Each structure stands twice: as C-alpha cells, then as structure tokens.
Amino acid sequence: MASAYYSNTTHIDFASVLAMENPGMVSVFNALMDSGLEGFLGCPAVIYESELVDFFNNGSVRDGLVVSTVNGVPVEISEQLFAETFELPVNGLEDLSEMPKDKICDARSIVSLSGEPVSLSGRKGQMKIEYRLLCDIMEKSISVKASSFNALTVEKFSLLTAVVCGIRMNWASILFNILKKMVTAGSKQAKGFAVQISLLLESIPNLELGESSEFPASKILTEKTAHLFVSLNDKVGVEEAAGAPKPKAASKKRPAADVGAPVAKKKRTMRKKSSSSKDNLEIVAMEQEAVPIQMIEPLTVAPAAEDISDQPAGENDGVKAVVADVDATAEKLDEQVAEPSASVETSVGEPFEPAVEVPAEEARPSSVDDVDFIIQ
C-alpha cells in the first residue's frame, strides 16, 4: 500500500509553526528555513497513491537518472529537476562525513538539556525539547531511516548540526542520492519522499495522473501538533536528563553460566521393575470365613455283584454272610430314620444323628481290603 511510503513522514506548515509563542521552537523552524529546506519540507501536500506504487515498483537508476514507468509512461528525474522543483541549495558539503568536528562539539553543548555535552550513542532525551523535534524531522523526512527514532547516531547528529550551526550543505545532491537508493534493488534504504515524488510526477509531460488523496493532517506539523509534541515529550526529557532510574522489567533470559565454575556431575538413578523373587515374597496370613460343619451320613459301599461273582464258589459263602449282615443293618437304619422315637429331642442348629448299634464283627469298615482279609 502507498501509505507505507509516508507512514513516518513529517511535513511542516511553516506559516503555522512560526506563529508559536515558544521562542525555542520558532528559532528551530527559522534555522530550517535558513538552511534552504523550506521548499522541500513545506511543499504542497498532495499524494497520488497508485502512481507512487508504480513508481517504486518500476523504479531504477540509469546514467545518474532516476527512471521508472508510471501508468505506461516513462519517467525520468534528474538531479537538476529535483533541485529546481524544491528550490534546494546546490553548493556546500555533499557528504555528512565531511562535517567539521568542532561544529559537532559545539552542537553537542547547544542542544543539551543539562548543559553537559550530549552523548552521540545516547538517547534524544538528553536534548532540549525543540531539538528533539528537529531531530525527528531530519530523521523521518530527510534521511528516511527505518530505525529507532529515540536513539542518537553520528549520522542523525550530523544532520542536526548542519541546521543548528548553519553549515552550508548541497541539499540537492544529498537528497537526490537518497532518492536513488530508494529505487535501487537490494538497498536497505527505506522508501519515502511520497509528497515530493507526487509533485515531481505532476511535472512529467504526457502523464495522466489519477485522483489525488489528502495527506493525513496528523502528519503535518502545525502550531497545534507542535504543542502536542511538547506536552507528550517534555516530561520524559526532564526525567532522562536528571538521571532518574527507571524500573527495569525482570529479564526472562537465563543467567549466563560461569565457565570457570566446576560442574557438578549428576548421578543417574536407575529404576528397576518390581520382580517376584523369593526375597520379595512374604507369607501373609489370610483370615478365612468360618464355614459351619455339616454332618454327612456315612455310606456303605457294597462290592459289585460282578466282583463277587468272579470269586470261586467255595469262597463266596463268607462274603455272602457279610453282605447279608450289612443289608440288615441298613434296613434298621432306614426304619429308625423314618420313625424317630419320642424321647429323642432335637435342637435347632444340631444335626439329627440316630443311635445305631453295630455288632462287634461289623464295627470295622467294610472296604475292599477287609473283604480280602476275611476271605483269606
């Protein structure tokens, strides 16, 4: 968008700011006019946004000229056209590095708020309020640097010195070289001069321009906006000049490790999985639920008939006698269970157990082993 080309631009309404009742501010704007920058900084504020986009997209440097194509029409801008359009001085220093050192030292004391020479690697808060405003104008509208506007550099202070100390500068050459950097591919120079390029395009023959847009009023320095700048920045400058400490935010960075300090080795701990070894096993007594004892009637197992039939005929007589006695005993038990005597008292929870008289010869269990013993 074309607004990016003038987002940081400061334009000046000289008639308005010279009517201020602030002597310091008036002296600064008079110094700008004496330097020959009035026609560049105070020209009519018009913007052709779509043409600006074409100019920078197609712009380049050829044979010392700034060339481009706007709306299909070739555009050529020479240093002479640039100087004549804005009535810029063409004599004087062409390089800021040629600024006399004694003038820089004088300017460091002139602009200081505390009386001590300002540090060229410090901040603008060291300077008086009117010179802080002048530094902003020179940085945003002359050098067009995409950097921190609150920090001082040698280049910024050289521009300031040229105006404060009245150094003759070839502003036509300095500003035209900045314009050439703006259209040079790969250059780190920020793009600007939006108002000035729009005026230059109006002077190109056979170039039909679209509708112009109004330059933002908030970016035009008038008496009102100058007073607003003072009210917003004056208190900050006093605090910085007095050296009032500012609370520092807690750093989120980790502290640097001491290289010389011995490094403690961390012991690696191993976790073993629990195993069911004999050492880990313990005998645990488990309490079991009590189960009431149940009385079960004894059952007499008679040998199968086929087993008896297999015995010899002479030996079967004794076995048959035993079997007959067992059968008789079982019948007596059945009769007693069916008709219990009245004298027998049973209590709840106690099993009924009939009294049975067992003959002496039948007292032993009649297992198969016993049968074999009797037969023998």
Please give the pLDDT value at position 234: 74
Instruction: Give the H/E segment covering residue 74.
Output: strand 73-77
pLDDT for the residue 76: 95
Instruction: Tell me which DSSP letter residue 11 carries.
Output: E
Do residues 290 and 342 make contact, with C-beta atoms less than 8 angstroms apart?
Answer: no
Cα-to-chain-centroid distance, residue 53? 35
Residues of the chain with pLDDT under 70: 1, 146-149, 235-376
Please state, in angstroms and as integers, the Cα–Cα distance from residue 129 to each residue in 53, 159, 229, 321, following that order. Answer: 36, 17, 9, 141
Sign of the torsion formed by the C-alpha atoms of 304, 310, 316 and 319? negative
Q: Residue 101 and residue 149: Cα distance in Å, rounded?
A: 24
Give buried/exposed letters for 208-229 (b at 16+ CB in 10 A, else e): ebeeeeebeeebbbbbebbeeb
Helix-then-strand count for the chain, H and E? 14, 7
Answer for the pair 45, 251: CB distance below 8 angstroms, yes or no.
no
Q: CA–CA distance from 293 to each of 282, 287, 290, 296, 353 (Å)?
A: 31, 18, 9, 9, 14
> Max alpha carbon distance in the chain (Å)?
161
- pLDDT tens digits, residue range 128-179? 999 999 999 999 999 997 666 688 889 999 999 999 999 999 999 999 999 9
Among 79, 83, 89, 86, smallest CA distance to 39 is for 86
- What is the distance between the alpha carbons of residues 338 and 334, in angstroms, rounded to a whole number? 6
CA-CA distance, 333 to 318, in Å (whole number)? Answer: 23
Q: Which of 56, 75, 58 is nearest to 4 (CA)?
A: 56
